[in-house]
Chain A
Amino acid sequence: MDNFVYYRPKTAEAAVGLLDAKWGTAELLAGGTDLVSLQKQYIARPKKVISLSQVQGLDQIEQSRGWPMTFKIGAGVKLATLAASSALRGSAAALAQAAEEIAGPQIRNMATLGGSLCQRNRCWYFRDEQSPCLLKGGDKCFALDGENRYHAIFTQGRKCVIASPSTVATPLMVLGAIAQVLSPKGKREIPLAEFFKAPTGPEDREHVLAPDEMLLSVSFSIASDKVKSASYEVRQKLSSDWPLVQASVAFELDGGTAKNVRIALGHVAPVPMLSAEAAKAIEGKPINEETAAAAGEAATSGAKPLSQNGYKVRLLAVAVKRALLTAAGAKKYWEV
Protein backbone atom coordinates (compact mmCIF):
# COMPACT_ATOMS: atom_id res chain seq x y z
CA MET A 1 0.00 0.00 0.00
CA ASP A 2 1.26 3.50 -0.81
CA ASN A 3 1.52 5.75 2.18
CA PHE A 4 -0.71 8.82 2.50
CA VAL A 5 -1.73 11.68 4.72
CA TYR A 6 -4.70 10.72 6.87
CA TYR A 7 -7.28 13.44 7.50
CA ARG A 8 -9.93 13.39 10.18
CA PRO A 9 -12.44 16.17 9.40
CA LYS A 10 -15.20 16.95 11.91
CA THR A 11 -17.76 18.16 9.39
CA ALA A 12 -18.95 17.07 5.95
CA GLU A 13 -18.04 20.54 4.64
CA ALA A 14 -14.46 20.10 5.83
CA ALA A 15 -14.38 16.62 4.27
CA VAL A 16 -15.42 17.75 0.79
CA GLY A 17 -13.06 20.71 1.13
CA LEU A 18 -10.19 18.22 1.17
CA LEU A 19 -11.31 16.40 -1.99
CA ASP A 20 -9.65 17.15 -5.34
CA ALA A 21 -11.15 18.10 -8.69
CA LYS A 22 -9.88 14.88 -10.28
CA TRP A 23 -10.19 11.23 -9.28
CA GLY A 24 -7.19 9.36 -7.97
CA THR A 25 -5.45 11.62 -5.47
CA ALA A 26 -7.96 11.80 -2.63
CA GLU A 27 -10.39 9.18 -1.29
CA LEU A 28 -13.07 9.29 1.36
CA LEU A 29 -12.66 6.48 3.89
CA ALA A 30 -15.88 5.09 5.38
CA GLY A 31 -15.76 1.47 6.59
CA GLY A 32 -12.67 0.83 4.47
CA THR A 33 -13.83 -2.65 3.43
CA ASP A 34 -13.41 -1.76 -0.24
CA LEU A 35 -10.90 1.10 -0.21
CA VAL A 36 -8.23 -0.53 1.97
CA SER A 37 -8.16 -3.66 -0.21
CA LEU A 38 -7.96 -1.53 -3.37
CA GLN A 39 -5.02 0.32 -1.85
CA LYS A 40 -3.26 -2.94 -1.04
CA GLN A 41 -3.71 -3.97 -4.70
CA TYR A 42 -2.34 -0.58 -5.88
CA ILE A 43 -5.62 0.00 -7.73
CA ALA A 44 -6.40 2.97 -5.44
CA ARG A 45 -3.31 5.09 -4.73
CA PRO A 46 -4.61 8.18 -2.92
CA LYS A 47 -2.21 10.70 -1.41
CA LYS A 48 -4.97 11.90 0.91
CA VAL A 49 -7.27 9.56 2.78
CA ILE A 50 -10.14 11.44 4.37
CA SER A 51 -11.70 9.53 7.25
CA LEU A 52 -15.41 10.06 7.79
CA SER A 53 -15.22 8.51 11.28
CA GLN A 54 -15.47 11.84 13.13
CA VAL A 55 -17.97 13.57 10.84
CA GLN A 56 -21.05 14.19 12.96
CA GLY A 57 -24.55 13.14 11.98
CA LEU A 58 -23.71 10.66 9.22
CA ASP A 59 -24.80 7.58 11.14
CA GLN A 60 -28.45 8.44 11.83
CA ILE A 61 -31.64 6.83 10.54
CA GLU A 62 -34.46 9.39 10.68
CA GLN A 63 -38.02 8.23 10.32
CA SER A 64 -41.29 10.16 10.22
CA ARG A 65 -44.40 8.95 12.06
CA GLY A 66 -47.54 7.84 10.21
CA TRP A 67 -48.16 7.63 6.45
CA PRO A 68 -46.56 8.47 4.15
CA MET A 69 -43.54 7.28 6.13
CA THR A 70 -40.32 9.02 5.22
CA PHE A 71 -36.88 7.57 5.93
CA LYS A 72 -33.60 9.44 5.75
CA ILE A 73 -30.57 7.22 6.18
CA GLY A 74 -27.13 8.73 6.73
CA ALA A 75 -24.27 7.61 4.48
CA GLY A 76 -22.35 6.43 7.54
CA VAL A 77 -25.02 3.98 8.76
CA LYS A 78 -23.54 0.49 8.93
CA LEU A 79 -25.02 -2.36 6.91
CA ALA A 80 -25.47 -4.26 10.21
CA THR A 81 -27.69 -1.40 11.46
CA LEU A 82 -29.78 -1.48 8.28
CA ALA A 83 -30.20 -5.24 8.59
CA ALA A 84 -31.26 -5.01 12.25
CA SER A 85 -33.65 -2.06 11.92
CA SER A 86 -37.16 -3.19 12.79
CA ALA A 87 -38.62 -0.02 11.24
CA LEU A 88 -37.02 -0.87 7.88
CA ARG A 89 -37.93 -4.52 8.19
CA GLY A 90 -41.57 -3.52 8.60
CA SER A 91 -41.95 -0.86 5.91
CA ALA A 92 -38.98 -1.22 3.59
CA ALA A 93 -38.23 -4.92 3.81
CA ALA A 94 -36.40 -4.98 0.48
CA LEU A 95 -33.59 -2.87 1.95
CA ALA A 96 -33.22 -4.72 5.27
CA GLN A 97 -33.28 -8.08 3.47
CA ALA A 98 -30.59 -7.00 1.01
CA ALA A 99 -28.33 -5.60 3.76
CA GLU A 100 -28.68 -8.74 5.84
CA GLU A 101 -27.42 -10.91 2.99
CA ILE A 102 -24.21 -8.95 2.33
CA ALA A 103 -20.97 -10.74 3.23
CA GLY A 104 -20.55 -11.80 6.89
CA PRO A 105 -21.00 -9.99 10.22
CA GLN A 106 -17.48 -8.49 10.22
CA ILE A 107 -18.06 -6.71 6.90
CA ARG A 108 -21.58 -5.60 7.88
CA ASN A 109 -20.19 -4.15 11.14
CA MET A 110 -17.69 -2.07 9.17
CA ALA A 111 -19.28 -1.30 5.79
CA THR A 112 -21.53 1.74 5.42
CA LEU A 113 -24.47 2.63 3.20
CA GLY A 114 -22.38 5.33 1.47
CA GLY A 115 -19.44 3.04 0.86
CA SER A 116 -21.75 0.34 -0.39
CA LEU A 117 -23.31 2.66 -2.99
CA CYS A 118 -19.94 4.15 -4.02
CA GLN A 119 -17.84 0.94 -3.99
CA ARG A 120 -15.76 -0.02 -7.01
CA ASN A 121 -16.70 -2.99 -9.17
CA ARG A 122 -15.53 -6.56 -8.50
CA CYS A 123 -14.27 -7.59 -11.96
CA TRP A 124 -11.19 -9.71 -11.26
CA TYR A 125 -9.24 -8.04 -14.06
CA PHE A 126 -9.98 -4.67 -12.51
CA ARG A 127 -8.86 -5.89 -9.08
CA ASP A 128 -5.69 -7.48 -10.48
CA GLU A 129 -2.74 -5.14 -10.36
CA GLN A 130 -1.20 -6.72 -13.48
CA SER A 131 -4.20 -6.37 -15.82
CA PRO A 132 -4.28 -2.91 -17.42
CA CYS A 133 -7.84 -3.07 -18.73
CA LEU A 134 -9.99 -0.21 -20.06
CA LEU A 135 -10.86 1.07 -16.60
CA LYS A 136 -7.19 1.39 -15.74
CA GLY A 137 -6.22 3.20 -18.93
CA GLY A 138 -5.60 0.16 -21.12
CA ASP A 139 -7.20 -0.31 -24.53
CA LYS A 140 -9.05 -3.57 -23.95
CA CYS A 141 -11.69 -5.21 -21.81
CA PHE A 142 -10.19 -8.56 -20.84
CA ALA A 143 -13.54 -9.98 -19.69
CA LEU A 144 -15.23 -9.72 -23.10
CA ASP A 145 -13.34 -12.73 -24.44
CA GLY A 146 -11.87 -13.91 -21.14
CA GLU A 147 -13.09 -15.26 -17.80
CA ASN A 148 -16.53 -13.71 -17.58
CA ARG A 149 -18.81 -16.08 -15.68
CA TYR A 150 -19.62 -13.46 -13.03
CA HIS A 151 -19.95 -10.49 -15.38
CA ALA A 152 -22.93 -8.70 -16.93
CA ILE A 153 -25.57 -10.39 -19.06
CA PHE A 154 -27.06 -7.11 -20.31
CA THR A 155 -24.09 -6.21 -22.48
CA GLN A 156 -25.43 -4.45 -25.58
CA GLY A 157 -23.29 -1.45 -26.43
CA ARG A 158 -21.10 -1.92 -23.35
CA LYS A 159 -17.34 -1.45 -23.55
CA CYS A 160 -16.83 -2.61 -19.97
CA VAL A 161 -19.04 -5.49 -18.86
CA ILE A 162 -18.81 -5.38 -15.05
CA ALA A 163 -21.69 -6.58 -12.93
CA SER A 164 -22.96 -3.72 -10.74
CA PRO A 165 -21.50 -4.38 -7.27
CA SER A 166 -23.94 -2.82 -4.79
CA THR A 167 -26.62 -5.07 -3.31
CA VAL A 168 -28.31 -2.12 -1.55
CA ALA A 169 -28.72 -0.20 -4.80
CA THR A 170 -31.64 -2.24 -6.17
CA PRO A 171 -33.91 -2.02 -3.09
CA LEU A 172 -33.29 1.72 -2.85
CA MET A 173 -34.17 2.12 -6.54
CA VAL A 174 -37.51 0.31 -6.21
CA LEU A 175 -38.30 2.37 -3.10
CA GLY A 176 -37.79 5.51 -5.19
CA ALA A 177 -34.88 6.76 -3.09
CA ILE A 178 -33.12 10.08 -3.59
CA ALA A 179 -29.47 10.73 -2.73
CA GLN A 180 -28.41 13.93 -0.93
CA VAL A 181 -24.96 14.99 -2.08
CA LEU A 182 -22.54 17.69 -0.89
CA SER A 183 -19.69 19.42 -2.72
CA PRO A 184 -17.78 22.63 -1.99
CA LYS A 185 -20.39 24.36 -4.19
CA GLY A 186 -23.30 23.16 -2.05
CA LYS A 187 -25.92 20.44 -1.85
CA ARG A 188 -27.82 18.69 -4.63
CA GLU A 189 -30.17 15.72 -4.93
CA ILE A 190 -29.92 12.78 -7.33
CA PRO A 191 -32.62 10.13 -7.75
CA LEU A 192 -30.99 6.74 -7.09
CA ALA A 193 -32.28 5.59 -10.49
CA GLU A 194 -29.85 8.15 -11.98
CA PHE A 195 -27.04 7.69 -9.47
CA PHE A 196 -25.16 4.86 -11.19
CA LYS A 197 -23.06 5.01 -14.33
CA ALA A 198 -21.41 2.38 -16.51
CA PRO A 199 -17.70 3.26 -16.35
CA THR A 200 -15.69 3.20 -19.58
CA GLY A 201 -12.29 4.52 -18.54
CA PRO A 202 -9.97 5.57 -15.72
CA GLU A 203 -11.73 8.92 -15.29
CA ASP A 204 -15.01 7.17 -14.45
CA ARG A 205 -16.47 5.69 -11.31
CA GLU A 206 -19.49 3.40 -11.06
CA HIS A 207 -21.59 6.40 -10.03
CA VAL A 208 -22.18 9.96 -11.24
CA LEU A 209 -20.68 11.83 -8.27
CA ALA A 210 -17.99 14.35 -9.14
CA PRO A 211 -14.55 13.75 -7.57
CA ASP A 212 -15.21 16.49 -4.99
CA GLU A 213 -18.70 15.32 -4.07
CA MET A 214 -19.75 13.24 -1.09
CA LEU A 215 -22.92 11.29 -0.42
CA LEU A 216 -24.58 12.58 2.77
CA SER A 217 -27.74 10.50 2.97
CA VAL A 218 -30.43 8.67 1.06
CA SER A 219 -34.15 9.28 1.59
CA PHE A 220 -37.38 7.66 0.47
CA SER A 221 -41.04 7.75 1.31
CA ILE A 222 -43.39 4.80 1.72
CA ALA A 223 -46.97 5.81 0.78
CA SER A 224 -48.90 3.42 3.03
CA ASP A 225 -48.90 0.01 4.62
CA LYS A 226 -50.16 -1.35 1.30
CA VAL A 227 -46.64 -0.97 -0.07
CA LYS A 228 -44.85 -4.32 -0.11
CA SER A 229 -41.24 -4.86 -1.06
CA ALA A 230 -38.64 -7.61 -1.09
CA SER A 231 -35.18 -8.52 -2.37
CA TYR A 232 -34.05 -11.94 -3.45
CA GLU A 233 -30.59 -13.00 -4.51
CA VAL A 234 -29.10 -16.21 -5.86
CA ARG A 235 -25.64 -17.16 -4.59
CA GLN A 236 -23.35 -20.12 -4.92
CA LYS A 237 -22.85 -20.37 -1.17
CA LEU A 238 -25.40 -20.14 1.63
CA SER A 239 -23.71 -17.11 3.18
CA SER A 240 -20.88 -14.63 2.80
CA ASP A 241 -20.93 -14.77 -0.97
CA TRP A 242 -21.65 -12.27 -3.72
CA PRO A 243 -24.99 -12.56 -5.51
CA LEU A 244 -24.85 -14.07 -8.98
CA VAL A 245 -28.09 -12.21 -9.67
CA GLN A 246 -30.39 -10.13 -7.49
CA ALA A 247 -33.89 -8.72 -7.83
CA SER A 248 -35.71 -6.13 -5.73
CA VAL A 249 -39.41 -5.39 -6.12
CA ALA A 250 -41.90 -2.92 -4.64
CA PHE A 251 -45.62 -2.47 -5.32
CA GLU A 252 -48.90 -1.53 -3.70
CA LEU A 253 -51.02 -4.56 -2.96
CA ASP A 254 -54.55 -3.27 -3.48
CA GLY A 255 -57.53 -5.61 -3.47
CA GLY A 256 -55.26 -8.51 -4.29
CA THR A 257 -53.61 -6.91 -7.32
CA ALA A 258 -50.23 -5.24 -7.69
CA LYS A 259 -50.13 -1.53 -8.56
CA ASN A 260 -47.22 0.84 -9.24
CA VAL A 261 -44.86 -2.08 -9.62
CA ARG A 262 -41.13 -1.39 -9.70
CA ILE A 263 -38.59 -4.11 -10.32
CA ALA A 264 -34.81 -3.59 -10.22
CA LEU A 265 -32.11 -6.03 -11.27
CA GLY A 266 -28.70 -6.16 -9.62
CA HIS A 267 -25.36 -7.77 -10.49
CA VAL A 268 -26.49 -8.42 -14.09
CA ALA A 269 -25.54 -5.20 -15.91
CA PRO A 270 -22.82 -2.55 -15.46
CA VAL A 271 -25.44 -0.53 -13.53
CA PRO A 272 -28.31 -1.71 -11.33
CA MET A 273 -31.31 -1.34 -13.63
CA LEU A 274 -35.05 -0.85 -13.36
CA SER A 275 -36.86 -3.30 -15.63
CA ALA A 276 -39.90 -1.65 -17.20
CA GLU A 277 -40.67 -4.90 -19.07
CA ALA A 278 -40.88 -6.97 -15.89
CA ALA A 279 -42.95 -4.34 -14.08
CA LYS A 280 -45.37 -4.05 -17.02
CA ALA A 281 -45.83 -7.82 -17.13
CA ILE A 282 -47.35 -7.90 -13.64
CA GLU A 283 -48.87 -4.42 -13.25
CA GLY A 284 -52.55 -4.67 -12.29
CA LYS A 285 -52.43 -8.43 -11.84
CA PRO A 286 -52.69 -10.67 -8.79
CA ILE A 287 -49.33 -12.06 -7.68
CA ASN A 288 -49.08 -15.82 -7.90
CA GLU A 289 -46.54 -18.32 -9.16
CA GLU A 290 -47.77 -17.98 -12.74
CA THR A 291 -47.81 -14.18 -12.98
CA ALA A 292 -44.54 -13.90 -11.05
CA ALA A 293 -42.87 -16.37 -13.40
CA ALA A 294 -44.08 -14.37 -16.40
CA ALA A 295 -42.59 -11.20 -14.91
CA GLY A 296 -39.34 -13.11 -14.37
CA GLU A 297 -39.27 -14.09 -18.04
CA ALA A 298 -39.98 -10.50 -19.06
CA ALA A 299 -37.03 -9.33 -16.92
CA THR A 300 -34.64 -11.31 -19.09
CA SER A 301 -35.74 -9.69 -22.36
CA GLY A 302 -32.80 -8.04 -24.03
CA ALA A 303 -30.23 -10.08 -22.12
CA LYS A 304 -27.11 -10.80 -24.17
CA PRO A 305 -24.88 -12.97 -22.01
CA LEU A 306 -21.15 -13.46 -22.52
CA SER A 307 -19.40 -16.74 -23.36
CA GLN A 308 -19.52 -18.14 -19.79
CA ASN A 309 -22.54 -16.59 -18.09
CA GLY A 310 -25.65 -17.70 -19.97
CA TYR A 311 -26.69 -19.47 -16.77
CA LYS A 312 -27.36 -16.10 -15.16
CA VAL A 313 -30.30 -15.48 -17.50
CA ARG A 314 -32.27 -18.37 -15.98
CA LEU A 315 -31.25 -17.38 -12.44
CA LEU A 316 -32.49 -13.85 -13.03
CA ALA A 317 -35.96 -15.04 -14.06
CA VAL A 318 -36.11 -17.10 -10.86
CA ALA A 319 -34.88 -14.24 -8.64
CA VAL A 320 -37.58 -11.88 -9.95
CA LYS A 321 -40.27 -14.51 -9.46
CA ARG A 322 -39.19 -15.25 -5.88
CA ALA A 323 -38.81 -11.58 -4.95
CA LEU A 324 -42.39 -10.93 -6.12
CA LEU A 325 -43.77 -13.92 -4.21
CA THR A 326 -41.81 -12.94 -1.08
CA ALA A 327 -43.14 -9.38 -1.17
CA ALA A 328 -46.71 -10.62 -1.65
CA GLY A 329 -46.32 -12.86 1.40
CA ALA A 330 -46.88 -16.01 -0.66
CA LYS A 331 -45.62 -19.37 0.48
CA LYS A 332 -41.88 -19.75 -0.14
CA TYR A 333 -42.07 -23.07 -1.95
CA TRP A 334 -38.27 -23.04 -2.40
CA GLU A 335 -37.59 -23.12 1.35
CA VAL A 336 -37.58 -26.63 2.73
Chain B
Amino acid sequence: MDHSSKRGDRPGVSRRDFLRGTGAAATAVASLVKVPGVEAQEAKSGADVVAIGPGPVKLSLEVNGTTMTTNVEPRVTLLDALRNYLDVTGCKKVCDRGTCGACTVMVDGKPIYSCTMLALEAEGKKIRTAESLIDGGKLDPVPAAFVACDAQQCGFCTPGFVVAMRAVLDANPKATPAEVEKGLAGNICRCGTYEQMRHAIEDLCKAGGK
Protein backbone atom coordinates (compact mmCIF):
# COMPACT_ATOMS: atom_id res chain seq x y z
CA MET B 1 0.00 0.00 0.00
CA ASP B 2 1.04 3.51 0.62
CA HIS B 3 4.57 3.29 1.99
CA SER B 4 5.73 6.48 0.41
CA SER B 5 3.15 8.88 1.76
CA LYS B 6 3.70 10.52 5.10
CA ARG B 7 4.30 7.29 6.91
CA GLY B 8 8.02 6.95 7.22
CA ASP B 9 10.09 3.85 6.69
CA ARG B 10 9.08 0.26 7.28
CA PRO B 11 9.65 -0.65 10.88
CA GLY B 12 11.84 -3.55 11.97
CA VAL B 13 12.17 -6.79 10.04
CA SER B 14 9.76 -7.16 7.17
CA ARG B 15 8.11 -10.49 6.41
CA ARG B 16 10.19 -10.66 3.29
CA ASP B 17 13.50 -10.22 5.10
CA PHE B 18 12.38 -12.74 7.68
CA LEU B 19 11.60 -15.32 4.98
CA ARG B 20 14.89 -14.62 3.29
CA GLY B 21 16.86 -14.75 6.49
CA THR B 22 15.59 -18.22 7.34
CA GLY B 23 16.12 -19.53 3.81
CA ALA B 24 19.02 -21.69 2.69
CA ALA B 25 20.44 -18.84 0.66
CA ALA B 26 20.49 -16.34 3.50
CA THR B 27 24.20 -15.68 3.15
CA ALA B 28 24.01 -15.28 -0.61
CA VAL B 29 21.43 -12.52 -0.33
CA ALA B 30 22.91 -10.79 2.69
CA SER B 31 24.43 -8.05 0.56
CA LEU B 32 21.05 -7.31 -0.99
CA VAL B 33 18.96 -7.43 2.13
CA LYS B 34 21.10 -5.38 4.49
CA VAL B 35 20.60 -1.87 3.27
CA PRO B 36 22.15 0.48 5.79
CA GLY B 37 20.13 3.59 6.56
CA VAL B 38 20.42 6.16 3.85
CA GLU B 39 20.79 8.77 6.57
CA ALA B 40 24.35 7.50 7.01
CA GLN B 41 25.40 9.10 3.76
CA GLU B 42 25.92 12.78 3.31
CA ALA B 43 24.13 14.25 0.34
CA LYS B 44 26.90 16.18 -1.37
CA SER B 45 26.35 18.54 -4.27
CA GLY B 46 29.11 19.53 -6.65
CA ALA B 47 29.51 21.60 -9.81
CA ASP B 48 28.10 18.85 -12.04
CA VAL B 49 25.57 17.35 -9.70
CA VAL B 50 22.84 18.38 -7.31
CA ALA B 51 22.14 15.99 -4.40
CA ILE B 52 18.79 16.07 -2.63
CA GLY B 53 17.63 14.27 0.51
CA PRO B 54 17.22 11.77 2.03
CA GLY B 55 15.39 14.08 4.43
CA PRO B 56 12.43 16.20 3.35
CA VAL B 57 13.34 18.98 0.92
CA LYS B 58 11.47 21.97 -0.37
CA LEU B 59 9.46 21.20 -3.48
CA SER B 60 7.81 23.77 -5.74
CA LEU B 61 5.36 22.58 -8.36
CA GLU B 62 3.37 24.55 -10.89
CA VAL B 63 -0.09 23.00 -10.66
CA ASN B 64 -2.90 24.30 -12.86
CA GLY B 65 -1.10 27.63 -13.24
CA THR B 66 -0.41 28.14 -9.53
CA THR B 67 2.95 27.61 -7.85
CA MET B 68 2.55 25.37 -4.82
CA THR B 69 5.24 24.62 -2.27
CA THR B 70 5.71 21.86 0.28
CA ASN B 71 8.41 19.61 1.78
CA VAL B 72 8.79 16.01 0.62
CA GLU B 73 11.28 13.17 0.85
CA PRO B 74 12.80 12.16 -2.50
CA ARG B 75 10.73 8.95 -2.59
CA VAL B 76 7.40 10.78 -2.72
CA THR B 77 5.68 10.36 -6.07
CA LEU B 78 4.01 13.20 -7.95
CA LEU B 79 0.63 11.60 -7.19
CA ASP B 80 1.29 11.48 -3.44
CA ALA B 81 2.71 15.02 -3.47
CA LEU B 82 -0.41 16.31 -5.21
CA ARG B 83 -2.94 14.39 -3.13
CA ASN B 84 -1.35 14.11 0.31
CA TYR B 85 0.76 17.26 0.51
CA LEU B 86 -0.93 19.78 -1.78
CA ASP B 87 -4.54 18.67 -1.47
CA VAL B 88 -4.99 18.39 -5.23
CA THR B 89 -7.11 15.26 -5.12
CA GLY B 90 -8.54 15.05 -8.65
CA CYS B 91 -5.89 12.52 -9.62
CA LYS B 92 -6.75 9.17 -8.04
CA LYS B 93 -4.62 6.34 -6.68
CA VAL B 94 -5.83 2.95 -7.84
CA CYS B 95 -3.11 0.54 -8.98
CA ASP B 96 -0.17 2.75 -7.95
CA ARG B 97 1.91 0.75 -10.49
CA GLY B 98 1.50 2.59 -13.79
CA THR B 99 -1.13 0.33 -15.30
CA CYS B 100 -4.63 1.83 -14.85
CA GLY B 101 -4.60 5.56 -15.66
CA ALA B 102 -6.58 6.85 -12.65
CA CYS B 103 -3.63 9.06 -11.69
CA THR B 104 -3.21 10.59 -15.17
CA VAL B 105 -2.09 14.23 -15.20
CA MET B 106 -0.54 16.31 -17.96
CA VAL B 107 3.09 17.30 -17.58
CA ASP B 108 4.05 19.97 -20.10
CA GLY B 109 0.92 19.05 -22.06
CA LYS B 110 1.57 15.32 -22.23
CA PRO B 111 -0.45 12.76 -20.25
CA ILE B 112 1.64 10.70 -17.80
CA TYR B 113 1.01 8.46 -14.80
CA SER B 114 1.68 10.59 -11.71
CA CYS B 115 1.96 7.47 -9.50
CA THR B 116 5.09 6.48 -11.39
CA MET B 117 6.91 9.82 -11.54
CA LEU B 118 8.85 11.13 -8.56
CA ALA B 119 7.59 14.54 -7.48
CA LEU B 120 11.14 15.89 -7.80
CA GLU B 121 11.13 14.94 -11.50
CA ALA B 122 8.17 17.27 -12.09
CA GLU B 123 9.93 20.39 -10.76
CA GLY B 124 9.97 23.20 -13.29
CA LYS B 125 7.25 21.60 -15.41
CA LYS B 126 3.62 22.60 -15.95
CA ILE B 127 1.27 20.14 -14.29
CA ARG B 128 -2.38 19.98 -15.24
CA THR B 129 -4.95 17.91 -13.37
CA ALA B 130 -8.69 17.31 -13.74
CA GLU B 131 -9.26 20.38 -11.53
CA SER B 132 -8.18 22.54 -14.48
CA LEU B 133 -11.15 21.35 -16.55
CA ILE B 134 -13.51 23.93 -15.14
CA ASP B 135 -13.32 27.65 -15.71
CA GLY B 136 -15.37 29.92 -13.49
CA GLY B 137 -18.13 27.38 -13.06
CA LYS B 138 -18.11 26.42 -16.76
CA LEU B 139 -17.18 22.79 -17.37
CA ASP B 140 -14.66 21.97 -20.08
CA PRO B 141 -16.37 20.23 -23.04
CA VAL B 142 -14.73 16.89 -22.19
CA PRO B 143 -16.19 16.40 -18.69
CA ALA B 144 -19.36 18.11 -19.94
CA ALA B 145 -19.74 15.36 -22.58
CA PHE B 146 -19.21 12.75 -19.83
CA VAL B 147 -22.06 14.31 -17.87
CA ALA B 148 -24.32 14.53 -20.94
CA CYS B 149 -23.68 10.89 -21.91
CA ASP B 150 -23.70 9.51 -18.36
CA ALA B 151 -20.20 8.16 -19.02
CA GLN B 152 -19.37 7.13 -15.48
CA GLN B 153 -20.63 4.87 -12.74
CA CYS B 154 -18.44 5.03 -9.62
CA GLY B 155 -16.49 7.84 -11.27
CA PHE B 156 -13.12 6.84 -9.85
CA CYS B 157 -11.51 6.46 -13.26
CA THR B 158 -13.14 9.61 -14.67
CA PRO B 159 -10.56 12.28 -13.71
CA GLY B 160 -7.86 10.20 -15.44
CA PHE B 161 -9.97 9.62 -18.53
CA VAL B 162 -10.95 13.28 -18.96
CA VAL B 163 -7.34 14.45 -18.60
CA ALA B 164 -6.13 11.84 -21.13
CA MET B 165 -8.93 12.83 -23.51
CA ARG B 166 -8.24 16.56 -23.12
CA ALA B 167 -4.58 15.86 -23.96
CA VAL B 168 -5.52 14.10 -27.22
CA LEU B 169 -7.87 16.89 -28.28
CA ASP B 170 -5.40 19.63 -27.32
CA ALA B 171 -2.73 17.95 -29.45
CA ASN B 172 -5.16 17.40 -32.32
CA PRO B 173 -8.55 19.17 -32.15
CA LYS B 174 -9.55 17.31 -35.34
CA ALA B 175 -8.90 13.86 -33.87
CA THR B 176 -11.25 11.13 -35.07
CA PRO B 177 -13.12 8.96 -32.55
CA ALA B 178 -10.64 6.15 -33.32
CA GLU B 179 -7.70 8.46 -32.60
CA VAL B 180 -9.25 9.62 -29.33
CA GLU B 181 -9.80 6.00 -28.32
CA LYS B 182 -6.17 5.21 -29.08
CA GLY B 183 -5.21 8.02 -26.73
CA LEU B 184 -7.22 6.33 -23.97
CA ALA B 185 -5.43 2.98 -24.28
CA GLY B 186 -3.64 3.63 -20.99
CA ASN B 187 -6.84 4.11 -18.95
CA ILE B 188 -9.05 1.40 -17.48
CA CYS B 189 -12.65 1.72 -16.29
CA ARG B 190 -13.46 -1.08 -13.91
CA CYS B 191 -17.20 -0.33 -14.06
CA GLY B 192 -17.03 -0.85 -17.82
CA THR B 193 -18.60 2.44 -18.86
CA TYR B 194 -16.86 2.26 -22.23
CA GLU B 195 -20.00 2.35 -24.33
CA GLN B 196 -21.18 5.63 -22.82
CA MET B 197 -17.66 7.01 -23.18
CA ARG B 198 -17.83 6.13 -26.87
CA HIS B 199 -20.96 8.27 -27.13
CA ALA B 200 -19.18 11.14 -25.37
CA ILE B 201 -16.23 10.79 -27.76
CA GLU B 202 -18.47 10.86 -30.82
CA ASP B 203 -20.24 13.98 -29.59
CA LEU B 204 -16.93 15.68 -28.82
CA CYS B 205 -15.40 14.81 -32.18
CA LYS B 206 -18.49 16.08 -34.01
CA ALA B 207 -18.13 19.36 -32.16
CA GLY B 208 -14.37 19.54 -32.90
CA GLY B 209 -13.42 18.94 -29.26
CA LYS B 210 -15.40 21.99 -28.17
Contacts and interface: CB of A to CB of B under 8 A. Distances in A.
Contacts of A132: 16, 19-20, 23, 25, 29
A138 B20 CA distance: 8
Interface centre among A14, A54, A80, A109 (most CB of B within 10 A): A109
Interface centre among A37, A40, A106, A202 (most CB of B within 10 A): A106
B77 A36 contact: yes
A69 interface: no
A80 B53 CA distance: 31
B25 A106 contact: no
A124 interface: no
Contact of A5 (B31, B74, B183, B184): B74
Interface residues of B, number: 56
Contacts of A64: none
A224 interface: no
A310 interface: no
Interface string B42-55: 01001011111110
Contacts of B183: 105
Contact of A202 (B24, B29, B54): B29
Contact of B74 (A4, A9, A33, A80): A4
B48 A130 contact: no
Interface centre among B10, B50, B77, B96 (most CB of A within 10 A): B50
B74 A130 contact: no
Contacts of B104: 106
B97 A40 contact: yes
A8 B52 contact: yes
A5 B111 contact: no
Interface in A166-190: none
B74 A3 contact: yes
B14 interface: yes
Nearest to A129: B16
Interface in A1-55: 1-11, 13-14, 18, 22, 24-25, 29, 32-33, 36-37, 39-40, 42, 45, 47-49, 51, 53-54
Interface of A: 1-11, 13-14, 18, 22, 24-25, 29, 32-33, 36-37, 39-40, 42, 45, 47-49, 51, 53-54, 80, 103-107, 109-110, 129-130, 132, 136-139, 201-202, 239-240
Interface of B: 3-4, 9-10, 14-16, 19-20, 23-25, 28-29, 31-32, 35-36, 38, 41, 43, 46, 48-54, 73-75, 77, 96-98, 101, 104, 107, 110-113, 116-118, 120-121, 164, 167, 182-187
17 contacts: A2-B38, A4-B53, A5-B41, A10-B48, A37-B97, A45-B32, A47-B38, A47-B41, A49-B74, A51-B120, A51-B121, A80-B110, A104-B186, A132-B20, A137-B28, A239-B182, A239-B185
